[in-house]
Structure 1
Amino acid sequence: MIEAVKIWNEPNNKSHWDPLLDPEWERFAELTRLAGAAIRAENPAVTRVLGGMSPIDPSFIRRLEAQGVMDAVDVVAVHGFPLDWNLWPIDEWPARIEEIKAVTNKPVWVTEVGVSAFGSEEVQAWGVRKTAELLIGKAPRIHWYSLYDLPRTWEATTRHREAEGSSYYRHFHMGLLREDGSPKPAVEAFRPYASDMGVCQWFHYHDHRLDDAVRWLKDLGVRRLRTGLSWADRYRDGALDWFDRQMETLSDFDVTVTFCFTPEHRGLEAHHTSPPQVPEEFAAFCAEMTARYAPVRSPVVAPQPIEASAA
């Protein structure tokens, strides 16, 4: 069910990894080395992806390379939202990919790119077309973020909350579909590019949108999907039942799955952005999920014809 595994999400973004607890990313480097080895031991064919950078930062790659991280991954991923959060214009997308290629020999995937409809749904539709024009052919994988708007009763995964001003509320309008599942103009703008641009859609624990999401993705012609399995959720009662349902429902897609989120009771601090107390526990989670959803398949050996015995 899994084409690729992403090890964490946006590790250079303090909304996903706490730099006060790991200012040199030494703990993150150890976590990635251990997880990469654990995934490779379970299935050498699974592509290991470094958690997508946000912001896109060549110096971050150099820092991790000096700590041996690049030997534990096969792909580098980047995230970009130039119309909403980044301090560079959308036309710089190709240059941003090239600056990462200049510091690594790994393929560079764009595993989150999007435009919020907070200000204008028409601008979002334009952003879909412009993004496709700029990125298709420049990156082996592109995942539009996201299929659905974030429900307003949920919280965006960010440290800043309303202190970000309008930037915080832009999180809630990134979908091709509104919260109620109705389509925005961006849906039809995206449809011609669906086979070349996948979708990133996070599903929360027992997410009510899962089945409808699959119907929409198939209707659009999406082949590649990025989602996540939460290490923190693994400690919930019935977690494996939910994981099994989620991954079975998504089995028709080429799935890149992100493993991340520290359980509060296993972090240096009680927060999902905290480095774990014992990084081997995260590696064990990665191994368990890889073995469960991307098991090594035994080669099928064709039966040999039985020769007739001599008379």
Structure 2
Amino acid sequence: MIEAAMIWNEPNNKSHWDPEIDPEWAQFGHMVNLAADAIAQANPDVTRVLGGISPIDPGFMTRMKDYGVLDRVNAVAVHGFPLDWNLWQIHDWPKKLDEIRAVTDLPIWVSEVGISTFGAEEVQVWGLQRTAELLKGNAARIQWYSLYDLPREWEATTRHREAEGSSYYRHFYMGLLREDGSPKPALEEFAKHTPEMGLVQWFHYHDHRLDDAVAWMKRLGVTHLRTGLSWADSFRPNALDWFDRQMQALEDFNVTVTFCFTPEHRGIAPHHTSAPQVPEEFAAFCAQMIERYAPRADARSQAEFLQTPALTI
């Protein structure tokens, strides 16, 4: 079931939102406000979460507060990868959360945290242990990134291989499972921290790993999952068939569904990091997905009533 809708992903990261088009994030704030209102109208019981920020920046959060965004969401989220990309140490996690708490009283979700095995698989084991020590009981939600390594023949979405060097390739080693599905040493450690720790797993369009992922998550005791429904993917042929299959496969989990990625033909610039030409279209997509996969209780009751055979007197 969908319990939460996250609006965008790492909006303050230039690989996810184009700063040349929207240097002050004003268009982003307006888009989030529209989307949050649309989601609330579709189903007010779905928790609305501001897309996880990376880097963890209280200045960005303050700007969202000024734009009225924090009045329309129920939680805010942060992402941290101190052993791979961030310029702070893993021990600074409590300090980084306190920086956001100084800006907002909303619950803070750590909606992506992870350690790559790019250098050594043993590093991931230690990093997971230390992350659990620092975050369990200190964040409203913790979601480990991720279950699977990214297949090497794929590209890391939103990343720039030529500009990032070795940092780019760390994206391919974030899983608890290797690309072939075999377990890494950290998998056993992760199972010690479920269900308090959930997972993040992005599923690509017609992802061949979906059914195996569901089986692994159930085996590990995962109850909370964060994944995505891409606005850009919604324009692919038979997109709803894939979305239906994905959400049906995940129906036993408490799912946070992330809405993001601008279709090339709907952006101010032809790129998925662009602000949309018409932000109301993104809001409409969010509402349609909630209506389809997390309809409000009165809508469900009406649908069930209409499907009930008439009584014979």
Same fold per superposition (TM over 0.5): yes
Q: Tell me the secondary structure at the aligned position of residue 52 of structure 2.
A: strand
SS at match of 2:88: coil
Q: How far did 1:160 drift?
A: 2.9
- Give the corresponding residue for 2:145: 145
Q: Which is higher, the Rg of structure 1 or of structure 2?
A: 1
For residues 197-236 of structure 1, what are the structure 2 equivalents within 5 Å?
197-236=197-236
CA distance in 1, matches of 2:62, 2:70: 9
- Give secondary structure in 1 for the equivalent of 2:51: strand
Asked if structure 1 preserves the Cα contact closer than 8 Å seen for 2:159 and 2:168, the reply is no
Unaligned runs of 5+ in 2: 302-313
Alignment pair present for 1:253 and 2:253? yes
Q: Are the counterparts in 2 of residues 15 and 157 from structure 1 also a CA contact under 8 Å?
A: no
Deviations 1:74-127 (A, max 9, x none): 100000000000000000111111110110011000000000000000111111
* CA–CA distance in structure 2, aligned partners of residues 130 and 167 of structure 1: 22
Q: CA deviation at 1:163?
A: 2.3
| Identical positions, percent | 70
Residue 178, structure 1, aligned to residue 178, structure 2: yes
3-state SS in 2 of match to 1:193: coil
Taking structure 1 as the reference length, what is the TM-score of the superposition?
0.95
Aligned equivalents of 1:280, 1:7: Cα separation in 2: 14
Find the aligned partners of 1:158 and 1:233 in 2 and give their Cα distance: 14
Match of 2:24 in 1: 24
Cα shift at 1:158? 3.4
Say how many residue pairs are matched. 300
Amino acid of the structure 2 residue aligned with 1:288? Q
Q: Is the 8 A contact 1:14 1:159 kept in 2?
A: no
Deviation of residue 244 (structure 1)? 0.6
Matching residue's letter, 1:25 = W
- Provide the C-alpha distance between the structure 1 equivalents of 2:142 and 2:162, rounded to a whole number of angstroms: 29
> Which residue does 1:154 correspond to in 2?
154
> What is the DSSP-based 3-state SS (H/G/I as helix, E as strand, rest coil) of the residue aligned with 1:131?
helix
Matched, 1:266 2:266: yes
Aligned equivalent of 2:130: 130
Aligned to 2:77: 77
Provide the C-alpha distance between the structure 1 equivalents of 2:79 and 2:26, rounded to a whole number of angstroms: 22
Secondary structure of residue in 2 paired with 1:229: strand
Alpha carbons 1:31, 1:279 under 8 Å: kept? yes
Residue 165 of structure 1, CA deviation:
2.0
Q: Which residue of 2 aligns with 1:55?
A: 55
CA displacement 1:27-71 (0-9 Å, x = unmatched): 101100000000000111110000000000000011111111111
209-218 or 158-167, which moves further after superposition? 158-167
- CA distance in 1 between counterparts of 2:81 and 2:159 reads 17
The separation in 2 between residues aligned to 1:161 and 1:69, in whole angstroms, is 33
Letter in 2 for 1:228: G
Alpha-carbon distance, 1:278 to partner? 0.2
**Equivalent-residue separation in structure 2 for 1:162 and 1:22 (angstroms):** 24
Distance across 1 between alignment mates of 2:183 and 2:266: 40
- For residue 89 of structure 1, what is the aligned residue in structure 2? 89
Question: Structure 1: how far apart are the matches of 2:79 and 2:129?
Answer: 18
Which residues of structure 1 form unaligned runs of 5+? 301-311
TM superposition shift of 1:179: 0.4
Q: Secondary structure at the match of 2:297?
A: coil
Measure the CA separation in 1 of the matches of 2:110 and 2:159. 23
* Cα shift at 1:272: 0.3
Amino acid in the other structure paired with 2:292: R
User: In structure 2, what residue type is equivalent to 1:221?
Assistant: G
